[in-house]
Each structure stands twice: as structure tokens, then as C-alpha cells.
Chain A
Amino acid sequence: MDDIERSRRRFLKEGLALASLPLVVTLSAYGQTEQPAASEKTPDEILKAYGGRSRFVTSERIEVIPGMGEMKHDPFGLTNHLTTPLQDSVGIITPNSLHFVAGHAGFFVPDIDPEKHRLMVHGMVDRPLLFTMDEVKRFPSESRIHYIECNSNFAKPGHKTVQDAAGRTSCAEWTGVPLSLLLKKAGVQKGASWVIAEGAEDNRGTYSIPLAKAMDDCLVAYGQNGEPVRPQNGFPLRLLVPGLEGVNSVKWLRRLTVTNEFYMTYNNMGRYTSVDPNIVQANYVQGPKSVITFPSGGQKLPGPGHYEITGLAWSGGGAIRKVEISTDGGQTWKDAEIRSAVHRIAHTRFGMPWDWGGKEHVLMSRCTDEQGQVQPSVAEFNKLWKPESRGEAHPNFIMPWKLGSDGAVENGLS
């Protein structure tokens, strides 16, 4: 019985009885995985062995299904998406415990033994290859800081916090082998144009990636912020396709097929079955996007005084060159300061000191990337995409936050 099978059976045994009664589905998304034996260690010993955080810090991910309102997980109790609490973020790195998680639907987290995991490279190559994890790690490694954003990261008027509105993006230092190195070792044949990446999870999630991108800056990653990639984010091996929609970055990577044609997979389907021809090109590279994380929805300024407006900016098109902030709903803009190292295709922290006098304001940020691309307003975004296509566009429009005279901050979208 393989590991996926084991967690599936456990889930079936413990969960399906509940799940078959829709009104009493309370099964936790974690109920499906093997629970480790209760720790014998004291809280102090746990802190020494694998550091925890202060009991006064309570920031957590939230389980959601994009576009399904209050529905948190699928009817089987399986996780669909987990969002990052951007409102509590500092700097640009998302802690591994808080990195967003996305699945094609509710999914089982595969419980993969890295000793048994293999990566196959085949198709239009001179030398098909099969690697163990140990062998993958013996190639020269590369570490880079990149964001990943799910294209479902679409801010809606009903979203209360920045976690709801934009929490399906995270940024980490990823360590692995350049995909181009593995492909070159296998010897890509003339005429090849696509790489199909396949995961080892229950539905063997698959995505077609242009070969030109695969040979450019993709990583086959086993490290995430200095430790192994977390199970929900693809342990032991995942693909990282910087700047393209998150669904490209196939998790639990087990197979790479080189082909000379685009293969439409289930996961590709949403991208290419649009009625808007713009979608096809634009969806390859995510546009410039930024969001204010403080003050943001659900937070409250205690009273007039000095504050730092801060947030995150990123672009699939490269490095962030400029971020501007408006405190009057976009009528006037001031340059924000960059408060972090600027990495290409990575979250970039910005900030601006601000004295709040106690009046109502609409706060916005807008960024420009190294190619001179500027983040669009809601009106500009809506002009670019037909209503039926918006769900498939990269939702990078400017996010407004309404600051009331009482200091309370609300979603400013209408």
C-alpha cells in the first residue's frame, strides 16, 4: 500500500461516515493525514528542538474555496486553498508554516517517503532519466527568492481582510536544481516545444509549460526557506515556474515529459478554454501587483497620529522598480520607499511614513516593474477583460482600503 493509499484509507475510515452527511461535515483538513504520536517532550524541549513562536503570536492561515463565499473546504472536508495572513507579515519572506496552499480541488496531502520518491525525465530527449532524491540533491544547487501566486487571488468587495482579498500569494527562498540542467542532461531533441510536469498526488496533477520558460529560470526545488519543502507545498520535490500562475509550479513533482505540442491537461483547461484571446498570452506572465498590508481591512488605528503605511509589491515581469501610495482614492500619488532587498519576481516590501489627522481616506498602492508595466486600476482592469474572462485573468488591479474617521479600515471595492 503506498503512502497516498494509506492516508486515503484512513480518511475513508474516519471521514467518509461524516462526509456522507453534508450537514455535519466538520472533518478537519488535517484529519486525513497520519497523526504523529503525541509528543513526549515538554513545551520547553519542543522549543529547543524545533522552535515554536511566542504564545502571544496567533497569526494563522485560513481555509477557503475561491469564489465559494463562506464555504471553507469541499464537501468531503478536504482542503482547497489556505491563505497567508499578509496583514501580519513583515519583510518579504513568508514563513513555511504560513505559505499559502492551493489545490485543483479538495486534495489529499501525499505522505511521500523521499527515499522512495523518483523523478522521471522522458519524451523527446536523447537519454530518458530516472533520479532518486539523493541524486537530485547532488547536482549544483541554486537558491532564489520568488513569490508564487494563485490566479484565484481575486479581491472581491465582500472580502474583509487582506488575507481574504490577497492571501493566495507567498514568497520564499527556494533551493533546488535548475530545470534546464536536468533537461540538458537528458538532451532535449530538436523540435521540442513543451514540457509536461506531473505530480505524485492522488490525481497526478499535470501542467504544460513552454519549453522556453523551462529552459530559462525554473527550479526543481527541494528546499523552502532553509528546510525541506513542506508537504502541502510539494514535499519532497516541486517545480517552481517563476512569474507564471501558481498552477504551473507543479507540486510533488514525479515526471517531466518533453513534447513538441501543447497537451491540454485538466489543470490547463481553465486557462485555455476562454472566449477572450487576450487570456492565452497574458496568462503566461503575471502582471505587476501590490497591496497595502497595514492599514488594511479589519484593522483599526487607535487614533490620529504617526503611522507607517506598508505593503507588498511583486510582478511576474521582473523586479519592482517603483511603488506609489495614494491616500485620496487615487487622485494623487506619492512615491513609497522600498523597505527590503529587491529580488526579481519576488515580494518587495514598501512603506511610507504618514501622519493621520483623523479624517476619512481611501488608501491605495500601485507598482511599476522593471519593464515599465504599471498595475491597473479596477476600471482599467475591467476595460481589459470581458466579464466572462475576468476569472481567468491575473487579478492584479489596485486594491483600495477605506479608512473611517473612527480608525476602522474596510474593503474599498464596490
Chain B
Amino acid sequence: MGSRNLLLLVIVLAVGPAVPAQSHSDSLGRTPSPEEVRAWDITISNEGKGLPAGRGTADEGEKIYGVKCAACHGASGRGGLAPPVVIDKDPHTTALRPRRVMVTRAPFSSVLWDYINRAMPMLTGPGTLKPDEVYSLTAFLLYKNDVINENDVIDAQTLPKVKMPNRGGYVPPVINGWKPLMPYTVAPKSTAEKK
């Protein structure tokens, strides 16, 4: 054994026990199966990545709405015990309504689909709607708020292409500018010094 190899051996022996190949915590947690991940992963990206197969129209949505949604959101969609889902076109109230109605507030159609899918119907079983039902309800709300036509089919391909009324009101988060401890950029710094 050359001195170089001997040196390597010494290093390996010296370092080996102190740096185990696996840390102690490696036994914690298990790898979920792809099926488990699929069952849990209901996240939809802003561009519609993650949308499942299925389809729906406003007409189909109207029927589901009547059975599963109208009791709380109102027959007309203008709110009941739960908030409105259809914008009120009354000129005296329009100024306030868009902030409360998802179709007129959400800059991406994915938010609407995702929220119906994960959270509705809130009282009787969130997460129980089938993809076709979610597509249909999404189509119905988009139609009732004048975003799509009555006969438009909404599915994984067409939904991301829907231009939402508030698309322009969205300011992309400045992720590259964010770092831990970024100063609160707009807080005035001079007040104390002026004293």
C-alpha cells in the first residue's frame, strides 16, 4: 500500500464514523405511492396544470346549482346565507359587488375551479363534487357573470383560455426580489430622525 493510499485509508477511517452516509432522521417518513400522491394532490396551477379529465356546460351547471348550491347562495346566485356568486348588475350596487364575487375577482379561472372543487358545497360535503360537476358549475358561473357564452364547453383545455374580467388587476408577485428580511419597503424611515 503506497503512502498515498495509506493516507486515504486514514482519512476514510477518521472521517467515516463521524459522517454517516445517511443521517439519523432518514428512517422517518415513508415514500407515498404515486396513487396516494394523485389522490391528495388537488392543486391546480394558474394555467390549469393539474385539471382532471371531464367537461361541462352552463346548462348542466344550472341543474347542479339548483340542487347543491342555491339553498345557500340564492336561487339567482346573488347571495343568501352564503356570499353572492353572480354579480349584481344593479347600477347602485355594482361598485361593491365585484370584490365579493369570485368570477369578477379571481384573475385566473383556475382559482374558481379549484375553490369549487376543494371547498364546495361547504355544508354538505366539500370535495365530493365530481370533475364533470365542477366543470359544469364553473361554466354556469362564468356564463351567469357574462364571461362565456351559454353553449361554451368548459374542460381542461378550454378553461385555462377563459379570459377573466380581473386578469388585468393581477400583479405578479416579485419572487426574484423577495429575500428573507426584505425591508418593509414603503415604511417611512425618516420620521424618527426628523425629531
- Chain A positions within 8 Å of B, measured between CB atoms, are 5, 8, 11-12, 16, 19-20, 22, 74-76, 105, 120-122, 127-131, 135, 138-140, 181, 185, 193-194, 196, 198, 202-204, 206, 210, 212-213, 216-217, 254-255, 257, 259, 261-266, 269, 272-275, 277-282, 284-288, 315-318, 322, 324, 333, 366, 368, 371-377, 380, 384, 394, 396
CB distance from A357 to the nearest CB of B (A): 24
By beta carbon, the residue of chain A nearest B193 is A374
With a cutoff of 8 Å between Cβ atoms, the chain A residues found around residue B108 in the complex are 264
Q: Are A281 and B174 in contact (CB under 8 A)?
A: yes
With a cutoff of 8 Å between Cβ atoms, the chain A residues found around residue B43 in the complex are 196, 198, 206, 257, 263
Q: Are B46 and A212 in contact (CB under 8 A)?
A: no
With a cutoff of 8 Å between Cβ atoms, the chain A residues found around residue B191 in the complex are 366, 374, 376-377, 380
B42 at the interface (CB under 8 A from A): yes
Interface of B is mostly: loop
With a cutoff of 8 Å between Cβ atoms, the chain B residues found around residue A316 in the complex are 184
Q: Are A203 and B119 in contact (CB under 8 A)?
A: yes
- Total A-B contacts with CB atoms under 8 angstroms apart: 196
With a cutoff of 8 Å between Cβ atoms, the chain B residues found around residue A371 in the complex are 181, 183-184
Distance A93 CA – B134 CA, assembled complex (angstroms) = 44
Q: Are A279 and B171 in contact (CB under 8 A)?
A: yes
B188 at the interface (CB under 8 A from A): yes
Q: Contact residue range for chain B? A: 35 or more
Q: Are A130 and B32 in contact (CB under 8 A)?
A: yes
Q: Are B181 and A278 in contact (CB under 8 A)?
A: no
With a cutoff of 8 Å between Cβ atoms, the chain B residues found around residue A373 in the complex are 183-184, 187, 189
Q: Are A202 and B183 in contact (CB under 8 A)?
A: no
Distance A374 CA – B191 CA, assembled complex (angstroms) = 7
With a cutoff of 8 Å between Cβ atoms, the chain A residues found around residue B37 in the complex are 120, 122, 128
Distance A315 CA – B182 CA, assembled complex (angstroms) = 12
Instruction: For B189, give its contact among A257, A261, A374 (CB under 8 Å).
Output: A374
Q: Are B184 and A261 in contact (CB under 8 A)?
A: no
